[in-house]
Structure 1
Amino acid sequence: MVQAASDTTTAQLDSPQEWNLSDLYQGFDDPRLTQDLADLEKQAAAFRQTYRGNVSELTPETIAACLQELETIAQKSGYLYAFPALVFSADTRNAEAKQMQDKVLEAITGIENQLLFFDLALKKLDDAQFAALEAAPVLQPYRHYFYNIAKFRPYTLSEEVEQTRNQDSLTGRQAFIQLRSVHLGEQEYKPVTTPDGKSASTDAELSALLFHPDRDVRYNAYASVRTVMHQHNSLYGYILSTVAQDHKLENQMRVYPSTLHKQLLSDEVSEPVFRAIMDGTRDRFDLWQRYYTLKGKALGQKIRTCDVYAPWGREAVEPLPYKAGVETLLTALEQFDTNYARRAEEFFLKNWVDAKVRPGKRGGAFCWYSHGKHSYLLLSYTDDYNSLFTLAHEMGHGLHFAWIDDRQSYFNSNPPMVLAEIASTFNELLLLDYLLKQAADNPALKKTLITRQLEDQLNLLFRQSTISRLELAVHDRATQGSFDQSFVNEQWQSLYQELCGDAVDVLPEHQYDWARIGHIYFKPFYCYQYTASNIVSLACYQKYLQVGKDFIPGYMELLAAGGSMDQVEALCKYVDVDLENPATIHAALKYVEGLLDQLQAAL
């Protein structure tokens, strides 16, 4: 176990903790909140007054100073928005948080509109001027920033139109996305009582029951959530159609070929790599079907979509209270790297984690990074190993950003999504290896962990890419006009049936399940990146197993790179992994196939 430091930590963690946001603001009545907002508005106005209309005449040294000032403004804006957004995520029924979030977002949009001219002016420089800035020694720390500006030069609109787009978003696309979050947070679910008399009624608690050994409990928990999705099917379908239509209109205005093309530019992923991931995973649906066929035989019944996370048998696995879970995670990270574990421990010591289960709390989990400070982690810890792996995953994000914060300025702090998910998955693999060693004399737990890893891999490689296949269908359909919920229901059910084949009974309720996938609203084609990042994470972990501690310095450099360089280049340079090589995809699929072989041999 981790020694003295973790003893201090775990002494205060007898139950899942709530976070302390005082690093940002003391509360909505904190006078600094209003003052900071007013100061930012003045700073933005002064910047605009000083530089608008003469950007093309500025020296590289002045451009560098401007970028540093813009980074300061963006960093402070981030703190202002983070506070109400985090309060709202912890309690979506908090009306004051919602109102403050709307107020701050409107103010920050105004600030961004004041400053928009600078980015647009850089994009409109002639090729010779732009190339001179890219080559200037004083601007080398912003080399990748300029690379990204150059990518979007062909798609940039006038300042007036860009400002209008930003303002319209408040009552347009972003408003609909927020409406879904608010509405979902207000839902109440039919309680499900387990054979031991415990009742579950929140989304987090009901989702945890999908791992319950009793098939009726699993179905009832699954149906409780999907019943609500069914009740509001038309609303969520309308919101998705509206969001997709807004993307289509933006594509037309900016002359993007498609929503996919637009997003891949932002993701720094080429379309051939995206298609290779889609094709490579689709070609191996047999792995998903093989696993669930084996599981169905072991359970003596065909697997239903509500059973995919069912335990393989009725072997009892002890609950894992929060305190024990935190100790376990810190110990696993300690065995990888001491400094890595100490920085993880800081999240618990300083209450940067909100793990408590409560009504109104946003579903799922996330890591929210505030550049210049630290990250905040949100999850709902339900005393089980699934919750522990979620904690490990989000902690991976938090540690990744800690290394970025040590090294990168604001404009270089946001890694592309494939890089952004590596540390989270890598953390889970570290945790798994540690737990398997500890479970050597506990066959029930060992089997649970191996099958959990397989199911996690199958989810990342196949379910996440299937979500992106749904988005391909949705955004293609949007080019023809609006659609309703029945189109999305049919597409989701059909795609899932193709994935499952005869191995899994796709229940009728599953057609409504897409409404729970927040990413299809927040950011199109987000989910394939989980697949891509998992492929890369597996490659990194195999390298670590091969070379041991010598892998760590390069891995830490990869984390610290943040968004300062091309992600394909960073992977090759620091950990010798080539995302564009089809062999990297095939190796990940072979890893899963190897796990399946091990499992089958043990049955």
Structure 2
Amino acid sequence: MSNEERKTLPKRDEVDEKFKWDLTSIYGSDQKWEEEFNKVKEEFPKIQEYRGKLGESAAKLLEGLKFSDGISRKLENLYNYASRKSDEDTTNNTYQGMLSKVQGLYNAVGSASAFIVPEIIQIPKEEIEGFLQEEEGLQIYKHSLDEILRQKEHFLSPKEERLLALAGELAQGPANIFGMINNADMAFPSIKGEDGEEVEVTHGRYVELLKNKNRHIRRDAFKAYYSSYQELENTIATTLNSNIKRDLFYMRARKYNSSLEAALDGNNIPVDVYNNLIKVVSDNLDSMYRYIDLRKRSLGVEELHMYDIYTPIVKDVQMKVSYEEAQDILMKALAPLGEEYLSLLERAFSESWIDIYENKGKRSGAYSASSYDAHPYILMNYTEDIDDLFTLAHELGHALHSYYSNEEQPYIYADYSIFVAEVASTVNEALLMQHLLETTEDEEKRKYILNHYLEQFRGTVYRQTMFAEFEKLIHDKAEEGVPLTPELFSKEYLDLNRKYYGDNITLDEEIGIEWARIPHFYYNFYVYQYATGFSAAIALSRQILEVGEEAVEKYLNFLKGGSSDYPIELLKTAGVDMKSPEPIQEALDEFSKLVEEMKSLV
């Protein structure tokens, strides 16, 4: 029985076992976890025996690296089990305690092994190359060692590195302060709801209120929400300014040419990739303007306001999909990925990889998580809404990416970078979207699906690129010595909204303060990866559908690549060159086509 059929949420022990994940592939019991925890706690201090000795010989370097990997691998399993158990029921103190213990152990291990990279940096490159020739077992670490040496010019002396490490906690200050302001101290006014009742505006309710079909509720929620940020604009501007100064400090300390270059170098991403994204999206804003015009016409308003861009432009459509139906739909939608991929989907469904329904105390939302020695796990809170179908497709994409990487790569290369993390999940969503558009005959349902897809494009490609452009702009100004004031932030942000949404929308003054609520502006040039990952996925899904087997083989090899090469190179082997503007252009061409199709239906 799904939770849709129940009046109240069940307790965890009332949920049928067939709807729960099975964590015994990590540890057979809590006692086994405790035994492993105690072993790791006893073993990890031995890493100190390698301090100051990694450069002595090839054998000693290999021994130190293998010992460190062994501890990390066990620690990953400990964390995976405790975290999954904790998320089953966040009120269970036993698993909260286990999670806290393993987090403490993670910190202790990280501190004890922090000497490894700085010590390798001090070994001359010629000596490392000699070690690689001398010790066959080191060959597996070649890419990892090359990656450390690639950034050698940006590392400092051991004493200077220690000082930078000591400053790490201080550097997190602006983000932590913003988090407390935004999540703990921020209070919002109440507004009049559907029946005249008082409804408190909150972070969780805000977007839902903007989707409300009642326009005065959307308007009042919008104005109430941003009034609270306007009251604190000076404090939040100072906090964001401090965060940007942090980025400039590390950029200068590590001898980079810009904050952007410093942020992208960790994944060896050329600055041109970032700039290309902004340029190509900027050159294709006419499609967004047509979408805004379509939205205005569909809603039947004389003036389209910023609080009108989230509400659906189609009438309410009931598209309930049971979990059993979802499995069947996904098997058909993802069939283009081949029999091997489908067999892994079958395993995910039949071997208890997925925790399906909500129960009391269960963590909200959805995710995929894995460790090297166990198959991936997916947390869902499935409610039979069509959005849950897309979420399931999304998380299965992550899960199978992790499965392939873990199966094909040694431990050190099994984890993939953030730059490619959203590719596999979005490929699955794109294939599902195409399948639904091909098989849905009901016109209202078809419009509903198209609206969902168009909003994904707007939110993931256009909006995240606007964020990326704002982030680059304010860092550039800081590097030029321009004072970063609340007035500057709001003016530049308002101008970007005008650029991205066009003249056919009324730019309410409140939108100028939106920069004050975006936590990603404290993540150091993170958001562009949502747009590049989405664009790469659209290009790959088109190749899979149009080219077939050859494209599928390349794509599966990409999934198996982990971090065995730089993310740009891995994507290139799949058939997408993110150094070129083509993948971004292909995605935006798809958006343009969808806008025209939607225009023909509404």
TM-score (structure 2 length as normaliser): 0.81
**How far 1:444 moved relative to its partner?**
0.7
CA distance 1:288–1:353, shift in 2 (3 Å): farther
Q: Which position in structure 1 is the counterpart of 2:333?
A: 332
Aligned to 1:436: 437
Q: Which moved more, 1:257-266 or 1:101-110?
A: 101-110
Amino acid in structure 2 at the alignment position of 1:583: E
Contact 2:366 2:380 in 1 (8 A): yes
RMSD across aligned positions (CA):
4.2
Which letter does structure 2 place at the counterpart of 1:388?
A: L
Matches within 5 A, 1:89-168: 105=103, 107-133=105-131, 137-168=136-167
**Higher Cα Rg, which structure:** 2
Q: Does structure 2 conserve the Cα–Cα contact (< 8 Å) formed by 1:299 and 1:312?
A: yes
Counterpart in 1 of 2:67?
Answer: 69
CA shift in 2, pair 1:541/1:335, >3 Å:
closer
Distance in 1 separating the partners of 2:99 and 2:341: 34
1:503-518 aligned at under 5 Å gives the runs 503-518=504-519
SS in 1 for 2:115: helix
User: 1:378 and 1:162 mapped to 2: Cα distance?
Assistant: 39
Q: What is residue 215 of structure 1 aligned with on the other side?
A: 215
- Other structure's SS at 2:55 match: helix
User: Percent identity among equivalent residues?
Assistant: 23
User: CA shift at 1:123, angstroms?
Assistant: 1.5
Q: Kindly indicate whether the alpha-carbon contact (under 8 Å) linking 1:245 and 1:481 is maintained by their aligned counterparts in 2.
A: no
Amino acid at match of 1:111: V
Q: 1:325 to 1:237 in 2, by over 3 A?
A: farther
The Cα shift of 1:586 comes to 2.8
Aligned match of 1:399: 400
Amino acid at match of 1:269: I
* Greater shift in the superposed pair: 399-408 or 232-241: 232-241
Q: Could you tell me how far 1:416 is from its partner in structure 2? A: 3.0
**1:597 and 1:143, CA in 2 relative to 1: closer, same or farther beyond 3 A?**
farther
Counterpart Cα distance in 1 of 2:126 and 2:577: 33
Amino acid at match of 2:68: L
* In 2: Cα distance, 1:102 partner to 1:112 partner: 15
**Counterparts in 2 of 1:82 and 1:232: CA distance versus 1, 3 Å:** farther
Aligned residue identity for 1:285: L
Contact persistence 2:447–2:601 (CA under 8 A): no
3-state SS in 2 of match to 1:313: coil
SS of equivalent to 1:267: coil
In the TM superposition, what whole-angstrom CA distance separates every residue of 1:237-261 from its partner, at most 9, and x where no partner exists? 4543343332222223222333211
Partner of 1:3: none
Give 1:167 deviation, angstroms.
4.9
Q: Which amino acid aligns with 1:538?
A: I
CA distance in 2, matches of 1:31, 1:343: 30
One-letter code aligned to 2:341: Y
Cα 1:324–1:415 change in 2 (3 A) is same
1:71 CA displacement: 1.8
Once the two structures are TM-superposed, the CA of residue 264 in structure 1 deviates from its matched residue by 1.2
Q: Counterparts of 1:470-489 in structure 2 under 5 Å?
A: 470-479=470-479, 480=481, 483=484, 487-489=488-490
- Cα deviation 1:30-84 (Å, max 9, x = unaligned): 67777756644543331221x222222222x553443232222223334455677
Larger mean CA deviation between 243-252 and 158-167 belongs to 158-167
Structure 1 pair 496–353 and aligned structure 2 pair: CA distance change class (3 A): farther
For 1:370, the equivalent position in structure 2 comes to 371
Question: Per the alignment, in what secondary structure is the counterpart of residue 114 of structure 2?
Answer: helix
How far residue 93 of structure 1 moved from its aligned partner, in angstroms, is 10
Distance in 1 (alpha carbons) for counterparts of 2:324 and 2:517: 30
Question: Which 10-residue stretch deviates more, 367-376 or 270-279?
Answer: 367-376
Aligned to 1:350: 352
In the alignment, the residues of structure 1 paired with residue 324 and residue 78 of structure 2 have an alpha-carbon distance, to the nearest angstrom, of: 32
Instruction: Give, in angstroms, the shift of residue 323 of structure 1.
Output: 6.2
- Do the aligned residues in 2 keep the contact of 1:56 with 1:125 (CA within 8 Å)? yes
Residue type matched to 1:391 in 2? L
2:55 counterpart residue number: 56
Distance 1:513 1:52 in 2: 48
- Name 1:415's counterpart in structure 2: 416
Aligned to 1:500: 501
Q: 5+ residue gaps in structure 1?
A: 1-11
Residue 75 and residue 336 in structure 1: after superposition, are their counterparts in 2 closer, same or farther (change >3 A)? same
Q: For 1:556 and 1:310, how far apart are their aligned partners in 2? A: 37
- Unmatched tracts of structure 2, length 5 or more: 1-13
2:462 corresponding residue in structure 1? 462
**The residue matched to 1:564 in structure 2 has which SS?**
coil
- Aligned AA for 2:434? D
Aligned to 1:529: 529
Moved more, 450-459 or 325-334: 325-334
Q: Aligned in 2, Cα 1:514/1:324: closer, same or farther, shift over 3 Å?
A: farther
- Distance in 1 (CA, whole Å) between partners of 2:201 and 2:360 is 10
1:579 paired with 2:578, answer: yes
In structure 2, the residue matched to 1:265 is: 265
Which residue does the alignment assign to 2:3?
none
* Structure 2 counterpart of 1:46: 46
User: Structure 1 residues 324, 360: CA separation in 2 closer, same or farther (over 3 Å shift)?
Assistant: same
2:595 maps to a residue whose letter is L
Q: 2:536–2:576: 8 Å Cα contact kept in structure 1? A: yes
The 8 Å contact of residues 142 and 412 in structure 1, kept in 2 or not, is answered as: no
Alpha-carbon distance in 2 for matches of 1:563, 1:155 = 21
Quote how far apart the aligned CAs of 1:482 are: 8.0
Whole-Å Cα distance in 2 between the matches of residues 432 and 275 of structure 1?
29
Letter in 2 for 1:282: S
TM-score, reference length from structure 1: 0.81
Q: Quick one: structure 1 residues 537 and 326, their matched pair in 2 at CA, closer, same or farther if it must change by over 3 Å?
A: same
Tell me the secondary structure at the aligned position of residue 372 of structure 2: coil
- Structure 2 contact 292–505 (Cα < 8 Å) conserved: yes
For 2:268 and 2:530, the matched residues in 1 are separated by 14
CA contact (8 A) 1:304 1:505 kept: yes
Do the aligned residues in 2 keep the contact of 1:347 with 1:353 (CA within 8 Å)? no
Cα deviation per residue 1:351-408 (whole Å; 9 max; x = unaligned)?
645774999967x765444333344556766654344323322332222111111122
CA contact (8 A) 1:116 1:159 kept: no
Number of aligned residue pairs: give it. 582
> Residues 265 and 353 from structure 1, CA distance in 2 versus in 1: closer, same or farther, beyond 3 angstroms?
farther
Deviates more, 1:218-227 or 1:193-202: 193-202
Which amino acid is the alignment partner of residue 592 of structure 1? F
Instruction: Give the Cα separation in 1 of the matches to 2:555 and 2:251.
Output: 37
Distance in 2 of aligned mates of 1:242 and 1:23: 45
C-alpha deviation, 1:427, in angstroms: 0.8
Q: Equivalents in 1 of 2:358, 2:428: separation in Å? A: 22
> Are residues 1:519 and 2:511 paired?
no
How far does residue 280 in structure 1 lie from its aligned partner after superposition? 1.3
How many Å apart are 1:276 and its aligned residue?
1.5
In 2, Cα distance between equivalents of 1:355 and 1:196: 33
Per-residue CA deviation, residues 107-153 of structure 1 (Å, 9 max, x unaligned), is 53342232222222222221311333456653333332123112211
Q: Tell me, yes or no, if the aligned pair for 2:191 and 2:217 is still in contact at 8 Å.
A: no
Inter-CA distance 78–177: structure 2 relative to 1 (3 Å threshold):
farther
Question: Is contact 1:173-1:242 (8 Å) kept?
Answer: no
